[in-house]
Amino acid sequence: MTLLRADDVTVHFGAARAVDGVELDIRAGEIIALVGESGCGKTTLARTLLGLQTPTSGQVLYEGEPLPSGIRGLREYRRHAQLVLQDPTGALNPRHSVYEAVAEGLRIHRVPGDERELVASALSRAGLRPPDRFFGRMPHELSGGQRQRVVIAGALALDPSVLIADEPVASLDASVRGEILALLLRLRDELGLAALVVTHDLGLAWNIADRVAVMYLGRIVESGPVEQVLTAPRHPYTQALLSVLPESETPATVLAGETPDPSRVPAGCRFHPRCPLLAAGLPVEVATRCRTVDLPIVDGAAAGVACHAVSVASSAK
């Protein structure tokens, strides 16, 4: 069942086309990794899915219904879709105890039931046990990993159906990283909690995600099951990203320059000025299409790739 869906979403800030036509389905109990370099629009897309950013066109659907537009409706929606940020130190109020941090959401949403019990249950689901030992602790008394668990507990207290996590382990130590990822995986298995994890880290996708969507300059250029996309990437951008990982066995394809400016999206395929396939030489017909013809939007539910060279190669088979 599709829980959350981006339906041809665009988000433009003036001339900048931060998100420029994205379809993405998140199903119940599924973990999706949205990967891309900084400036590719992945965080803007995540904010749009949370209702924190209004799309310029297209819409976001939760359980088949468009997101409400009013403040009250959005507040209700955010019980179901919770945000987990990168830096737990910034996300927690330094003067609030762990108990206060987790109870805050319960109070805002006026969740019925015994507050102490709800807080304790959320803390223990986030792996902070025994929970009452953490009630009075202040953020500065906790380690980085424990702080991120408190943030996750705050989200879990509201019993959401999907977490949207923006680089949830990027600021954590290497040995702690695995523990937090294991927690996300366990929440999916035990509670059926879906998650969209926004990251630049392909190893994270390999560790926990079912599907991966690779974003480049406002569009998803390749998506599909993790095993497929990460072990047999089809888009030259995905191939390049994987080739530069330190442990990669294929020769590194280091793309020159950085993610280009979303206010000047190239004509044709938006990746063509940096494309190693095009630079290495493609049949004239294909190369012309790369430079002039925009690609269709990749389906949000199935596996897909937005590349002229790949479409030609697969239709020739």
Partner 1 sequence: MGEPLLEMRSATVDYRTAGGLVPAVRGVDLRIDAGQTLGLAGESGCGKSTLAMSVLRLLPRNAVVGGEILLGGENVTEMGWGRLRAVRWAEASVVFQGAMHALNPVQRVGEQIAEPIRVHGKGPVERRVGELLEQVGLPARRARAYPHELSGGQRQRVMIAMALACSPGLIIADEPTTALDVMVQAQVLALLSKLVDELDIGLLMISHDLSVLASTCQRLAVMYAGRIVEQGRSAEVLRQPAHPYTKALAAAFPTIGDPASRLAPRGLAGDPPDPAQLPAGCPFHPRCPSAMAECSVTDVLLRPAGEDRVSACLLEVEP
Q: How far apart are CA 82 and CA 35, in angstroms?
A: 19
Q: How far is the CB of 36 from partner 1 (least distance, A)?
A: 9
Closer CB to partner 1, 10 or 223, in the complex: 223
Q: For partner 1, give the closer residue by CB, 74 or 303.
A: 303
Residue that the structure tokens 């359980």 belong to: 63
Shortest Cβ distance from residue 21 to partner 1 (Å)? Answer: 23
CB of 251 to partner 1, least distance (A): 12
Rounded alpha-carbon distances, angstroms, from residue 305 to 22, 43, 99, 123, 309: 13, 21, 46, 40, 10
CB atoms within 10 A of CB 130: 10
Distance CA 193, CA 32 (A): 12
Say how far apart CA 262 and CA 89 lie, in whole Å: 30
Q: Rule CB under 8 A: which residues touch partner 1?
A: 37-38, 143-146, 173-182, 185, 200, 202-203, 206-208, 226-227, 230-231, 240-242, 244-248, 252, 254-256, 258-259
Output the smallest distance, CB 133 to partner 1, in A: 15
Enclosing H/E stretch for 291:
helix 284-292
Q: How far is the CB of 85 from partner 1 (least distance, A)?
A: 17
